[in-house]
A and B are shown apart, each in its own frame.
Chain A
């Protein structure tokens, strides 16, 4: 007789744990409370101890597997001293992942199973008070690398052209159900896209010779946010150039003075200062589109999201009330937020409440880009490298000037191209007359 040990509840609101390392080998006789397995959650790493004394018959999760709370972790058999006692199968409990009734489970056979006057098991219907349907679990792949999924879910995913490995299963052991595929379809809208483009993966791109990296944590959050934006906005692009030669001169003049105050003065604070004033003049770009009642929500304040590349991935801390701050304070805030983002010490409040975002790509390279709007915001400004370029001057002479490309991606539902062009002009006028930014 054996019994299944399931993933215990490791901490409040922890719904799953990753098996880091087995501390007891299959076949080993383990004592009650002996460390059994090391499990990592998003909060802590803990040693789970053996719940009984007995022979560890099987590891039911491999190292690296993410196991939802309540799902099988290990199987124990009777120890030499018979300490593990038979467990009465409970139809309302373990049935979902229980053994099939092949007539060998002695406990299923009772002398009184005639159905007369006997209390029959209560059926727990999925979705009623069973396991939470929306619980986040990971796509389980079995030992053969295929995702665990019921056949009808495989068919649905195949027809929709979506990859089962990208879907979270909510069934026992992380098994993907039809409802999980439907939820994934609803979330990404990939159904139509896939039907149109027929996304199928060539066999040689799916098997040996490839490495499959599970989408977890920040990468997953970024992926979802980007796809939501991609599918949920009517994105248009306005690209402009500004002659910032005067700004370069101004900044170079002020830089040593700022340094005396402990501020490393870059061009970005000037651009942000100009941006806040342009947003005040064009409120439709400091807004968000609310699809729920088809309205546009205009923001009184300007909270600027700043895209920061970190080792873990893209982070967008928010510079609050940017319209209330001068260039020096903007510079201080930019430095503080970027440092905190790279150090991973941002407060939750630091990444919420943005009304417009800026992505500063120039520091790395590139001519200009098409940024993805940080939905539900209305637009995002891509700021590129300031470089000397030959420019035809008003007197037809050619001069080497400091030029800056700006790419503004905006949600066309909120604003039209002409309005955005005026916004862009407004911004450029300020950058080309930078002294006003100090007023």
Chain B
């Protein structure tokens, strides 16, 4: 099995799918000869040529609009938005056109496209290169939203996204691009289904739920807890729309104490939805309030890049709170 990091898993999967299906094309800013600013499309231009690996102008509306048109005509475009927050220039295309097409056409047309976006902080990116705008898209009915945190999941979920007949927004945790290497499944049909969480640890004292980049700090916190004989269940949501309620509710009810970690802003973040669902569905089993650890309700601070992110210290603080409640 090949060992690779997360960004290599992206280019590996794109190459694999492009080889399998001629309808798959890649487009975006600098994705061609340059191989993308994070090298997520490295080598694709040489392998598949300029007709399938398309450098676009600096126009996110153009990228997403073009991808929509391609998808309606039988192609399976994978659009790269260079940094997630650039997507707002193409926001209208995505939420008003892409997300609605199947419904506006009463199912006659679908938009089988993927929008990939590197997201998240911790890379000294400042206000416009560190954000986590996933909640905007979760809140747009008609889009699938996934956010893997490991190379293997990135392979399986990007493949699921490309093969899906509905539009998928795929966030990539850019600070984990090169943080972890692992064996990824070589099977060219290995997929990770959209909508299914992964349980990374099992323990009876507290449930930690996270996704994307914050999975790294969540697992660090779980390690620190284990050293102190606090056993945690760690759930990696991986998929935000649809999300795996059953897995989360099962463990929340079993353990009764839940800490929800996400680096996006606190108010109306995705974990607010998780907390609300837990409260609605399994309140009777809870021993403490579902407790969020999140980014702040401020623009992402360039000067306090690390401080903004929920780190192990804040996660442990929240765990203490739910244990003592």
Contacts and interface: CB of A to CB of B under 8 A. Distances in A.
Given A109-B296, A121-B313, A115 B323 contact: no
B325 A115 contact: no
Interface string A52-93: 000000000000000000000000000000000000010110
Interface of A: 89, 91-92, 95-98, 100-104, 108-115, 118, 120-126, 130, 150-152, 154-155, 171-172, 175, 177-178
B313 A101 contact: no
Nearest to A127: B323
A101 B289 CA distance: 12
Contacts of A91: 313, 316-317, 320
B156 interface: no
Contact of B317 (A89, A97, A171): A89
Given A101-B292, A111-B306, A115-B220, A150 B287 contact: yes
Contacts of A101: 291-294, 310, 314, 317-318, 321
A96 B320 CA distance: 7
A113 B306 contact: yes
Interface stretch (B15-23, B46-54, B102-110, B222-230): B222-230
A357 to B, nearest CB: 43
B147 interface: no
Interface in B265-314: 265-267, 283-289, 291-298, 304, 306-314
B324 interface: yes
A95 B317 contact: yes
Contact of B325 (A109, A110, A172): A172
Contacts of A123: 225, 228, 230, 316, 319-320, 323
B292 A113 contact: no
Contacts of A121: 313, 316-317, 320
A154 B284 contact: yes
Nearest to A154: B284
Q: Which of B265, B296, B306, B311 has the most CB of A within 10 A?
A: B311
Contacts of B308: 109
Q: Could you say which of A98, A103, A110, A175 has the most chain B C-beta atoms within 10 Å of its C-beta?
A: A103
B295 A103 contact: yes
Given A103-B297, A104-B297, A109-B307, A178 B287 contact: yes
A122 B228 contact: yes
A186 B68 CA distance: 65
A96 to B, nearest CB: 3
Nearest to A131: B324
Contacts of A89: 317
Contacts of B319: 123
A324 to B, nearest CB: 56
B217 A115 contact: yes
Contact of B266 (A103, A150, A154, A178): A103
B148 interface: no
Contacts of B298: 103
11 contacts: A101-B294, A103-B265, A104-B297, A112-B306, A115-B217, A124-B320, A125-B205, A125-B228, A126-B324, A151-B285, A171-B325
A103 B268 CA distance: 13
A132 B302 CA distance: 45
Contacts of A108: 313-314, 317
A202 B276 CA distance: 31
Contacts of A95: 317, 320-321, 324
A291 B190 CA distance: 65
A328 B230 CA distance: 68
Nearest to B279: A151
B138 interface: no
B256 interface: yes
B87 interface: no
B225 to A, nearest CB: 6
Contacts of B291: 100-101
B67 interface: no
Given A89-B317, A150-B325, A151-B285, A115 B297 contact: no
B64 interface: no
B121 to A, nearest CB: 12
Contact of B304 (A104, A109, A178): A109
A120 B307 contact: no
Contact of B285 (A92, A112, A152): A152
Contacts of A111: 304, 306-307
A59 to B, nearest CB: 22
B189 to A, nearest CB: 37
A95, A118, A120, A171: which has the most chain B beta carbons within 10 Å?
Answer: A120
Contact of A120 (B293, B309, B312): B312
Given A113-B307, A121-B320, 10 more contacts: A95-B320, A101-B292, A102-B266, A102-B294, A103-B294, A109-B304, A114-B311, A120-B316, A121-B317, A130-B324
A376 to B, nearest CB: 36
Nearest to B265: A103
Nearest to A99: B321
A204 B266 CA distance: 42
B300 to A, nearest CB: 12
B220 A96 contact: no
Contacts of A112: 306
A120 B313 contact: yes
